[in-house]
Amino acid sequence: MTFLRCIQNRFGVLRLLLLGLVLVHGARAVHTDPSTGKLVRYSVRPRANSVTGNYLPPPTADAWYKAPEGWQSAKPGDVLRIREHAYPTINIPNAIDTFQVLYRTSDSLDNASWSVATVYIPKSHRNCLPGSNATKSGCSHAMVVYDVPSDSVSPDAAPGYLLQFQEPYGEMRDMLARGWFIMVPDYEGPEAAFCAGVQAGHATLDATRAVLKVAGQFGLEMDRVKVGMWGYSGGAFAVGFASELAETYAPELVIDAAVVGGSSPNISKVDERMNKATTAGLFVTSLYGATVQQPEAHAFLLKQLRTEGLYNKTKFLSALTMTGAEVLGAFWQEDIFNYLENGRDDFDNPIIQSAIDRDAVMGLHGTPRIPSFYYKAVYDELSPVNETSVMIDDFCRHGANILFHQNTIGGHNDELWTGRLRALDYLTAKLEGKVGNSSGVKMDIPATGCVTQTVSLPLETLYLLPDWWWTTGPGLGQGLFPK
């Protein structure tokens, strides 16, 4: 580890340089080309050759990625279609195979909808797969529903498509190393409704229902299965809504743990903080996505977009074909109010604000009954920590079971990395019955009720190195991450 510490000490700017690539709102749109080890945008697909293999087409060009005839008559959580061995090429370490499930769900207005979930099978499960003649041992009994931040209003930026190239953070790799199935839902649905919270919650819960109906066919030990959910930032938005809605929308569904990191309870307030900043592009996608299923608000938004000048409707709507990272670059530090005829007054219009209140504010859709771990940086620049603590206090007054960590060091992007090991420790405790301490912090997990802990954990710069560094590059075998 001396060599690695030397790198950390000599290159103190490494964190700043890499944060530009792995902003929590853009990292899912950057991947490593397996043939070169270079970081490129997801929109630049790796070359298909003997090294990198082949890839599924984007969802809008994929015939499988369409609901079959008569799908509206199915019930939420019903399986509509299964694609075994889904990824022609898998670039996520510790995954041996994948399958996809197209399932029925409900949008934010409870209209019939559908989406896709992709399941990643750990290498340790190889002897448990159908057709295996080996002795069954170490078969998986745990599945984590991993809501990846999407931050895009393009259907072709769906996680189930993008993750075949590379995962952005290494969290899937670490969970697969623990022998867990990982299920990633395209929780924005076919309209890519970014920040439509009820849609995201429904799609997450229905994906869990659907996959649990078929996972036994792939060897998951259903007689002792445990299920967890995990999301950070945009992914936390989806997990948070799923947790709130679970008791009323999917009362039969047993979920053993939920992990919610870097939550932003009120999108309206977050939009104001992102405006004129490096994250201004997410103001565009969140405003469009939060209204796309609200007919009156969406019509109002489109009507109020300027048709002339630099800040015009055509540029605003160009976000519909962009990944999360691409939209950041396109609207870098812009004042998004300039796109509206009446500026901020249009954003504050009751038509827009009521749509946001209905579909993009956490804490209003029920008390989570799932044991949960929330973690957030005290100095989160997108959403003040008190917005989350007030929400959690209300949950706890109504009987929730929550461990809440407030980290006094770092901001929103830092906590993505520093919170990882604590999140894994919590999931290990709930899914495996083991008390983990890989982060060096004792997890004071309450059996009932709530506990708030203040921690002071600095960012480990080495975590910001791209995944290929540890799996095929100079960091291979250095022992920081499980292989």
Handedness of CA 24, 29, 35, 39 (dihedral sign): negative
Active site residue 298: no
Q: Report how far residue 9's alpha carbon sits from residue 139's, in angstroms, rounded to the nearest whole number.
A: 42
Residue type, 400: A
**CA-to-CA distance for 289 and 273, rounded, in angstroms?**
18
From 125, 152, 412, 467, the catalytic residue:
412
Residue 200 CA to chain centroid, in angstroms? Answer: 10
Backbone angles phi, psi at 56, to 5 degrees: -65, 150
Residue type, 132: S
Helical pair 280-291 and 350-359, crossing angle rounded to 10 deg: 80
- Cα–Cα distance between 257 and 146 in angstroms, integer? 12
CB 413 within 8 A of CB 19: yes
- Cβ-proximal residues to 35 (8 Å cutoff; 6+ apart), any chain: 46, 47, 49, 51, 52
**Helix axis angle, 350-359 to 267-274, nearest 10°:** 120
Integer Cα distance of 337 and 19 in angstroms: 27
380 is catalytic: yes
Catalytic one of 115, 233, 243, 439: 233
Single-letter amino acid code for the residue at 24: V
Nearest CA-CA partner of 379 in 458, 325, 323, 315: 458
Q: Which two tokens stand for residue 414?
A: 């830092």
Q: How many CA atoms lie within 13 A of 283 on its CB side?
A: 27
| DSSP per-residue codes, 410-451 | --HHHHHHHTHHHHHHHHHHHHHS----TTSS-----SSSEE
Helix axis angle for 350-359 and 197-214, nearest 10°, is 30
Q: Of these residues, 380, 414, 425, 467, which one is catalytic? A: 380
233 assigned to active site: yes
Report helix, strand or coil for 126.
Answer: helix
Rounded CA separation 83/455 (Å)? 44
CA distance 395 to 393: 5
Catalytic site positions:
233, 380, 412
